[in-house]
Structure 1
């Protein structure tokens, strides 16, 4: 295929010229057209330039899915700058690491995050904070009500922390000396910038995307304009039946994660689609939006589809507009896929990717042959193979090894980490860290993360295989399996289980169910019933948090064999 070598912001310029009146975003009913979006982007780009932002300069965006996130993203790219998408849920410690590591001076952030930013701004070297509110782009009635709602929440929170006499307005947040605060909406009146700036698409960085840090200190993944443009072009090819049609996308995936950034934001602007923004996913709100705006596309993660399937009255909603749903970031249980397709009539297929590949490398064909439990086929111009983890030599079909990929979407490397880059990039091949196998038809299957592999009594146990069995149990809503220390087996299998509302199950019942479907050494020896699994905001289960919550051996031998619920720390 051919891939455009452009500044990604050129897509916004072109789409606004073709479809000026088409809605780019819908946010609680308020529509922002592509012409208005371009106008705001040019104005904010002009304001950023006046603050010293230029080609190659990093700017952090710490926002949920609100119109301001779209505006800020393209304004930075418009100048040839580098976007650093940052999770709004980060703690001060996590913020400090990322902002300092990215070596930036300008941050665009939500007003609710100012207390955290105030703690780290000086140490991180921040000079300018552009502040916006969730209410800034709400329709007029909701914008008027928002301060009242926030004030009521603040009063409740202060009472909870400080007693009944904690009333009055919250104390104003003061940024450290030397850090200037700017109002986002005011900057939209700045004289517009020319552009978009020319870039060397294969060399110039568009995005510095930090890995989640679930296995250690997060690293900045360096993605070029070409990397991201290539992955969007591949998406368009995979969604060939939607090409040229006015498309609406449910924007439930957060833009600060590369999965949402590529499959929703970049793809929508490239194709002229309308994004229905969800600042925070909630299943009930999602089905209401699906019914009201009739989107054709809904990229998501398994937990989103699980939550929709579990709504007790979901069948009363009209969800039949959906044509394509791509599930990533975590394994998609077959029962979840089948239930969601029955409810919507759309196609839900499993795919695969990682931040280091912009992120998508594989998926099942949406309107072609798919295989249950498979991540599908490599995308156009993407090579994939399974290699021996020790020698690096390719393995034949059917054998389990490490998945390696090569293609136009693969990163340049890790930000200022040459040794770690060299460890995962070999002659253009990216070593993913995932254990996989390929069948005779070229379909790939993720067996598990190398770090999640459980070795019990000398046997290799892959958590996903055990989880798939647990998902088949009629009482199980979600399940996650980890290895915990065992004095005899080295490790043993522990299952964390979330039950469906109104359902019950005992450890003995689950064990009997698993023994009918798994070899004896794979059957979980411990079961913990919890209210919810710990996850990243994009929906990936935090196995490390589950392992850390294992606690003492006494606790494990007590709570794990009961139906008492608990929540991992």
Structure 2
């Protein structure tokens, strides 16, 4: 946080953050941070305390209250959303209340739009909790009323907890991922830029883009902040504000490519388009590279360990590499292990991707079983299946929990999905395993047909058999108008599995 404050001291009269309701100058942001820190310190907030934040989607308040709390050595947790791609839709009261209760937050900071909701949440807790806002005129703690002196340097332990990030991921139940000051600072350091970047923020500041925003401010850059991603507004913002960097979820690139005004919008200022969340379709990447130029950077990582691998600008011009997620990033070490034996597998063999990095989480909050399963020694077991080629490029295959074992042989649903999606009638496809009455795992596929297209179940089975093997051909096909998604565009296979088993009565 000291790096952000130092950068804000330079060119104090320049605007540093723009968003839909206005703009903040560097001096104003500096004052907001130190004032909030002063007030929080006066409330006894420091190491061992947790400050919860509830604000409008991508409100700048999310940044300066986090900076203030972290300056004092306190932990921060965001309540608005567990979605890494969009926080436009807020969590319901009961889930926000559960996070407040579980983290034992000492104080809840809200923006004016959430004053009443904040009061309601605090009243529902079984213990007293302070509530604050960055505005006068409310009968609560005023974060704008603090002193203007920079808080004294505190001896904050590098391994102390800086942030708890709740994310739904692919397992359904939100999990609290604890990151230390050391891990957070490592994430920021990997994104520092020598240029004074102008970054457009559209994904949640509570998740991946948070450390990137910190790095931009520390490097002397500026932020243009939107509540969410809407391709037309994004195009206008890039052109109007001469945006040089963005970070998007992979499906958002597709939305931009399909927008009718893309060809007529001036995007010449854009230097870096970072993307991640789910593996990208190579054909769409090639389209993006041809349309947007050499600006693409794919970032493969998880909230638990920050960036694992990166596919750089130059790699996007190599058709062979577009199916990969790149080479190891920063100080990340990658090994691929047999998920059954734990032994490292040779190049080209599929196994579980395991990572060692300074950016690793310290634990899953109050979940020692999950922590012990995923964090073994210095290695984090991602649950992703993939392989390394002989040049060190990493390729994703599927999630370990999605692997289907049929007759002693592994079937990877993502590979079957790719085959189904080459069929001219298929718009969307999701493949998953379901146990039948004899406890044999069968291959099921949920599909969405393109408009005015028709296909028979047997013809699709034959299509997969001919291009793969008989064991890959789906035993059962389910037709949908649209497939449910979670997070960064990931298909919600747990929901599909539940729906299928509840209808069929299959064991699961």
Alignment TM-score, normalising by the size of structure 1: 0.77
**TM-superposition CA deviations, 1:14-47 (whole Å, max 9, x none):** 1112342443211127321222111111111222
Q: Aligned partners of 2:423 and 2:262: how far apart in 1?
A: 21
Q: Match for residue 262 of structure 1?
A: 211
Q: Match for residue 72 of structure 1?
A: 65
Q: Aligned partners of 1:350 and 1:279: how far apart in 2?
A: 23
Residue 328 (structure 2) aligned to one of 378, 385, 388 = 378
Q: How many residues align?
A: 488
Residue 308 (structure 2) aligned to one of 340, 351, 361 = 361
Instruction: For residue 395 of structure 2, give the secondary structure of its aligned residue in structure 1.
Output: strand
**TM-superposition CA deviations, 1:322-371 (whole Å, max 9, x none):** 222222221111122222223322432332111211x2111112335761
**CA root-mean-square deviation:** 3.1
Q: Match for residue 182 of structure 1?
A: 140
Q: Aligned partners of 2:483 and 2:18: how far apart in 1?
A: 30
Rate the CA distance shift 1:504–1:256 in 2: closer, same or farther, 3 A: farther
> Is 2:499 aligned against 1:549?
yes
Residue 326 (structure 1) aligned to one of 274, 278, 281 = 274
Q: Match for residue 150 of structure 1?
A: none
Rate the CA distance shift 1:278–1:467 in 2: closer, same or farther, 3 A: farther
5+ long unaligned stretches in structure 2: 82-89
Q: Match for residue 566 of structure 1?
A: none
Q: Match for residue 257 of structure 2?
A: 309
> Is 2:39 aligned against 1:37?
no
Rate the CA distance shift 1:54–1:367 in 2: closer, same or farther, 3 A: same
Residue 479 (structure 2) aligned to one of 519, 523, 528 = 528
Rate the CA distance shift 1:412–1:109 in 2: closer, same or farther, 3 A: same
CA-CA distance at 1:201 after TM superposition:
4.8
Residue 279 (structure 1) aligned to one of 227, 240, 245 = 227
Instruction: For residue 304 of structure 2, give the secondary structure of its aligned residue in structure 1.
Output: helix
Is the Cα contact below 8 Å between 1:337 and 1:349 reproduced in 2?
Answer: no
5+ long unaligned stretches in structure 1: 1-8, 137-179, 237-242, 557-569
Q: Is the deviation greater in 508-517 or in 61-70? A: 508-517
Q: Aligned partners of 2:160 and 2:233: how far apart in 1?
A: 39
Is the Cα contact below 8 Å between 2:285 and 2:322 reproduced in 1?
Answer: no
CA-CA distance at 1:517 after TM superposition:
4.6
CA-CA distance at 1:508 after TM superposition:
4.1
Rate the CA distance shift 1:117–1:396 in 2: closer, same or farther, 3 A: farther
**TM-superposition CA deviations, 1:413-455 (whole Å, max 9, x none):** 2334444333322221111121121111111112111112234
CA-CA distance at 1:462 after TM superposition:
2.2
Is the Cα contact below 8 Å between 2:110 and 2:118 reproduced in 1?
Answer: no
Q: Aligned partners of 1:425 and 1:227: how far apart in 2?
A: 15
Q: Is the deviation greater in 435-444 or in 117-126? A: 117-126
> Is 2:139 aligned against 1:202?
no
Rate the CA distance shift 1:405–1:308 in 2: closer, same or farther, 3 A: same
**TM-superposition CA deviations, 1:507-563 (whole Å, max 9, x none):** 449937756654444345525343463222x4443322232233654799xxxxxxx
> Is 2:445 aligned against 1:494?
yes
Q: Aligned partners of 1:474 and 1:113: how far apart in 2?
A: 52
Q: Match for residue 120 of structure 2?
A: 118
Q: Is the deviation greater in 109-118 or in 390-399? A: 109-118
Q: Aligned partners of 2:480 and 2:231: how far apart in 1?
A: 22
**TM-superposition CA deviations, 1:205-249 (whole Å, max 9, x none):** 21122232641543322211211111222234xxxxxx4222111
Is the Cα contact below 8 Å between 1:131 and 1:181 reproduced in 2?
Answer: no
